[in-house]
Amino acid sequence: MKLLIMIAAMIFASSSCSDAQRPSSGTSTMPDEKILIVYLSRTNNTKVVAEMIRDNVGGTLVPLELENPYPENYEATVKQVVKENEKEFLPPLKTKIDDIKKYDVVFLGFPTWDMQIPPPMKSFLSQYNFKGKTVIPFNTHAGYGAGNSFQTVRQLCRECKILDGFSTEGGIEKEGVLLAIKDSRKKEVQTELKNWLRKIKMVE
């Protein structure tokens, strides 16, 4: 009887940790503690994709926060971002990564802003040393694609291995569509994302 209870407990334990926030067991090709997922997200579309990546491959999820957050107003934010890009201004970050050395793989998630990588991601890429790491960009946009953001990752991260990025349509804040990656769209993105993770060999 005792043996039966133990077997039942083991089966329950193994099935309950394969869902929720851990990667589905056995599919990730990398140890959990070696993966960092850093993302910038204003209206949560990129955040949802970052969480999906974490659920598939594991790793530490870190939202990028600024010392001086952008305005709530969309148009004011666009104006500020255009200026920052013109001046090549790197906004100071509140987020600090304690020990970047311990990560072998860094996923970098960001929305397209001004058809570029957002200034805070430029700050992040300029601030840390990614030498020898595998860097994997991912992106959401409002229908115009990733712009030149993936090229910028390559320029700012010269001594690292950069894998093919993932880009998918998210919200259209300009038209009042904030979080779009939900319900049936979320399922679609989940499928696209899983295919991409298989292609870049991050899952089996």
Counting contacts by CB under 6 A, is residue 157 touching ligand FMN?
A: no
Segment lying near ligand FMN (by CB under 6 A), choices 40-48, 57-65, 123-131, 153-161: 40-48
- Name the pairing type of β-strands 161-162 and 35-39: unpaired
Closest to ligand FMN by CB, 143 or 176: 143
Q: Rounded distance, CA 201 to CA 197, Å?
A: 6
Member of 133, 170, 196, 203 binding ligand FMN (CB under 6 A): 170
Does residue 46 interact with ligand FMN by CB under 6 A? yes
Pick one of 111, 120, 137, 165: the residue that binds ligand FMN (CB under 6 A): 111
* 173 sits near ligand FMN (criterion: CB under 6 A): yes
Residues numbered 127-156 forming contacts with ligand FMN, rule: CB under 6 A: 140-144
- Work out whether 77 is an interface residue with ligand FMN (CB under 6 A): yes
Q: Shortest distance, CB of residue 203 to ligand FMN, whole angstroms?
A: 23
| Tokens, residue 27 | 């599919």
Using CB under 6 A as the binding criterion, the count of chain residues that bind ligand FMN stands at: 25
107, 113, 124, 166: which one binds ligand FMN (CB under 6 A): 113
- Report the C-alpha gap between 149 and 6 in whole angstroms: 52
Least Cα distance to 124 among 105, 143, 96 occurs for 96
Distance CA 22, CA 42 (A): 25
- C-alpha dist (Å) from residue 77 to 60, 93, 113, 168, 180: 28, 17, 10, 22, 20
- Decide: residue 119, CB within 10 A, 0-12 exposed, 13-18 middle, 19+ buried: buried
Is residue 84 at the binding interface for ligand FMN, with CB under 6 A as the rule? no
Confirm if 14 and 25 have CB atoms less than 8 A apart: yes
Min separation Cβ 147 and ligand FMN, Å: 6
Site residues (vs ligand FMN, CB under 6 A)? 41-47, 74, 77-78, 81, 111-115, 140-144, 170-173
